[in-house]
Amino acid sequence: MAFSFSSLFSSQPKSVLGVDIGTSSIKVVQLKRDHGRVVLETYGAIALGPYAGVEIGRATALAGDKIGEALKDVIREANVSTSDAAIAIPYSSSLISILNLPAGVEKQLAQVVPIEARKYIPVPINEVLLDWFVVGGDGNTAQGDQAGKIQVLLVAIHNETISKFRSISSTAALQTGFFEIEVFSSVRAALEHGIAPVAVVDMGAATTKFYVVERGLIHESHIINHGSQDITLAASRALGISVAQAEERKRKIGLSGGAPDQPGVADLRKSLELSLSPLLSELARTVTAYETRTNQALSALVFTGGGATLKGLREFAQQKIQTEIRLADPFGKTQAPAFLEAILKEAGPEFCVAVGLALRRLQEIG
């Protein structure tokens, strides 16, 4: 699918593109800055299933050239007019750890972190790109931190991954300003600045990621091996229909669409609820474990990703989890025609990463 309304806006030289390459689809968002406002120019998504010979909604493991082909297609269909881009690196292609280091080494992190990283990274250090951020220290730590320590968020990406995404970028004729691990992009677009810890729940096709964010910084993360693809496959089996049909009904009807007496609607909802329950139970356990360990409550769970666009998900999840649940609204940080407000709000969770990338790129170029 692709949506374009770039003709409503005059072209500006400072337009930028955020590119989110997931396992089941590619999402792109083009933004520009106009008189201090962030303006949404166009956005689009394309399913990767057909490029891998499988159904829409299925997770794929495509080669770089196929991904580049799909990226070119969505760029064309969405009428993207800029080559200035930022691209997300999948969380699964990265390693994120928290290092607890003596406070006295803060000025020598460039020398200390690569040495400490060897304890956490199972490949030679020269085979990865390292980055790090101080996320806590004396007077600025979460409860339970040891005195005289600083916490450093370590990020590592394999050089082969960077090379693959550079090649994809080149295939699509993009000038990529930076690559960023998807979680950082998602947090930027999904959350407002706040002090209380918040969890971002990213529902992808193959997995669901859980990130705890405090003062804008990521403090921990978990992967739950259950995604929106599993919900579709379960519905296909339960209803005796094809995966493609199950995906279509899941998108159109979900947990709250369609008339209750419409044939198949009750059975679909029952299947979706049964599939979602283990995931929501795991989320509830993860929340409880975090709150018990840190002695502080999460203020909210903010759902992102394609799986979060399921109709009725927030209401159903709220019955299972006590913490407040919100759906991310990344397009709320942009200016767009009023008549698109409802559509953008509904599609928003799926485009968090792409919006977050474009927001950072706009900030970088001024």
- The pLDDT tens digits of the residues spanning 223-246 come to 999 999 999 999 999 999 999 999
Q: 82 — phi, psi (to 5°)?
A: -125, 150
| The pLDDT of residue 366 | 78
Report strand pairing: 149-158 vs 128-136. Answer: antiparallel
Residue 7 has pLDDT above 60, yes or no: no
Sort 295 into a burial class: Cβ within 10 Å, 0-12 / 13-18 / 19+.
Answer: exposed
User: What is the CATH superfamily name and number for domain 2-91+161-192+328-365?
Assistant: ATPase, nucleotide binding domain (3.30.420.40)
How far apart CA 121 and CA 37 sit, in angstroms, is: 41
Q: How many percent of the chain have pLDDT more than 90?
A: 68
- The pLDDT tens digits of the residues spanning 308-344 come to 999 999 999 999 999 999 999 999 999 999 999 999 9
- The pLDDT tens digits of the residues spanning 116-162 come to 888 888 888 889 988 888 877 654 444 444 568 888 888 899 999 99
Q: Classify domain 224-320 by CATH number.
A: 3.30.420
Cβ atoms of residues 185 and 88 within 8 Å: yes
- Name the token pair of 217: 């910084």
| The pLDDT of residue 144 | 43
| The pLDDT of residue 110 | 87
| The pLDDT of residue 137 | 64
| The pLDDT of residue 65 | 95
Cβ atoms of residues 262 and 320 within 8 Å: no
Residue 86 has pLDDT above 90, yes or no: yes
Mean pLDDT of the chain: 89
| The pLDDT of residue 277 | 96
pLDDT band at residue 93 under the 50/70/90 scheme: confident
Which fold, 92-158?
Dna Ligase; domain 1 (3.30.1490)
Domains 2-91+161-192+328-365 and 224-320 share a fold: yes
- Domain map (residue ranges) of the chain: 2-91+161-192+328-365, 92-158, 224-320
Strands of the sheet with 198-203, listed across from one edge: 217-224, 208-214, 198-203, 301-304, 325-327
Query: pTM for this structure?
Result: 0.88
Residue 6 has pLDDT above 70, yes or no: no
Higher pLDDT, 263 or 140: 263
Which residues have CB under 8 Å from 34's CB, separation 6+? 9, 12, 335
